[in-house]
Amino acid sequence: MKYLLPKNELYSRLARWSAEYSILAPQKVGEYSEFLPFTAQSELCLQEPHNTRYPAKALFFPQSETILKYNRISGQLESAAPESQKRIVFGIRPCDAKAVTLLDTVFAEGDNQDPFWLARRAETFLIGLGCHEPCATCFCTSTESGPFHTEGLDALLTDLGEVFFVETLSERVEALFSELSPAEAAQQEIALAVQAAAEKSLPKVFELDGIKEKLDRVFDKEIWAELSQSCLGCGICTFLCPTCFCFDLVDEAQRGTRVRNWDTCMYRVYSLEASAHNPRPTRRERTRQRLMHKYSYWWEHAGKLGCTGCGRCVRYCPVGLDIRAMIKKASAYESEAQHAN
Partner 1 sequence: MPTNPSVPNPYLPTPMRVLRAYFESTDRTLKTLELSFENLADKIAFFKKFNPGQFCQLSVFGKGESPLGVASAAWEGDFVRFTVQRMGSVTKALHELKPGDTLGMRGPLGNGFPLADWKGKNLVIIGGGCAFSTLYALTKHVQHPQNRPDFGQLTVIYGARSSGLCMYKHDIQSWYQRDDMEIHQAIDVPEENWDHHVGYVPDVVRQIAPSPDNAVAIVCGPPIMTKFTLPALVSLGFPPEAIFTSLEKRMKCGLGKCGRCNIGSKYICKDGPVFSLAELNALPADI
Partner 2 sequence: MSELEQKIRSEAERLLKEGLVDVVIAFRKEDAPLRPQPAFFTHPEDLENLTYNGLCANNLANYLTRYPRETRIGMLVRGCENRSVNALIVEKQHSRENLYLIGIPCTGIIDWRKVIALTGEDILGYEDTDSTLIVRARHQTFRLPRQELLHPSCQRCVHPNPLSADILLGEALPEGDPTLIRARVESFEALSREERTAFFRQEAERCIRCYACREACPMCYCEECFVDHNTPRWTESGTTPAGTHAWHIIRAFHQTGRCTSCGACERACPMDIQMTYLTDKLGKDMWDYYQFAAGMDDKTQPPFAAFTMDDKKHFQAGGKLS
Residue 199 contact, options partner 2, partner 1, none, Cβ 5-8 Å cut-off depending on partner type: none
- Decide if 150 contacts 128 (C-beta within 8 A): yes
Binding residue for partner 2 (CB under 8 A) from 170, 261, 301, 335?
Answer: 261
The interface region with partner 2, picked from 37-45, 83-91, 97-105, 236-244 by CB under 8 A, is 236-244
- DSSP state letters, 39-69: -TT--B--S-SSPPSS-GGGGTS-SEEEEEE
Spell out the alpha helix ranges (H) of the chain.
10-17, 94-107, 115-122, 174-177, 185-200, 211-217, 223-228, 236-239, 283-292, 298-302, 312-316, 323-340
Binding residue for partner 2 (CB under 8 A) from 39, 71, 76, 230?
Answer: 230
185 vs 274, beta carbon nearer partner 2: 274
- Closest residue by Cα to residue 63 from 234, 241, 251, 269: 241
Residue 137 contact, options partner 1, partner 2, none, Cβ 5-8 Å cut-off depending on partner type: partner 2
Binding site for partner 1 (CB under 8 A): 67-68, 70-72, 75, 77, 79-80, 84, 104, 106-108, 111-115, 117-119, 121-123, 170, 216, 219-220, 245-251, 253, 256, 258, 260, 263, 265, 270-275, 277, 279-280, 285, 289, 292-293, 296-297, 300-301
For the four alpha carbons of 288, 291, 293 and 297, in that order, the dihedral sign comes to negative
Residue 294 contact, options partner 1, partner 2, none, Cβ 5-8 Å cut-off depending on partner type: none
Shortest distance, CB of residue 23 to partner 1, whole angstroms? 19
Quickly count: other Cβ atoms within 10 Å of residue 306's Cβ.
25
Residue 117 contact, options partner 2, partner 1, none, Cβ 5-8 Å cut-off depending on partner type: partner 1
What CA–CA distance (Å, rounded) separates 268 from 294?
19
What CA–CA distance (Å, rounded) separates 27 from 14?
14
What CA–CA distance (Å, rounded) separates 137 from 298?
22
- DSSP state letters, 235-280: SHHHHS-SS---EEEEEETTTTEEEEEE--TTSGGGS--TTS--SS
Binding residue for partner 2 (CB under 8 A) from 94, 307, 324, 330?
Answer: 324
Binding residue for partner 2 (CB under 8 A) from 64, 85, 113, 181?
Answer: 64
For the four alpha carbons of 41, 46, 48 and 50, in that order, the dihedral sign comes to positive
> Diameter of the chain by CA atoms?
70
122 vs 136, beta carbon nearer partner 2: 136
> By CB under 8 A, is residue 314 in contact with partner 2?
yes
For residues 126-155, which are near partner 2 according to CB under 8 A?
135-137
Residue 70 contact, options partner 1, partner 2, none, Cβ 5-8 Å cut-off depending on partner type: partner 1
What CA–CA distance (Å, rounded) separates 310 from 183?
29
The footprint of partner 2 on this chain (CB under 8 A) covers a number of residues equal to: 44
Note the Cα 299 to chain centre separation in Å.
17
Site string for partner 2, 20-39 (x = CB under 8 A): ---------xxxx-------
Residue 48 contact, options partner 2, partner 1, none, Cβ 5-8 Å cut-off depending on partner type: none
- Decide if 228 contacts 284 (C-beta within 8 A): yes
* Interacting residues toward partner 2 by CB under 8 A: 29-32, 49-50, 53-54, 63-64, 135-137, 229-230, 232-236, 239-240, 248, 250, 252-254, 259, 261, 264, 267-269, 314-322, 324-325
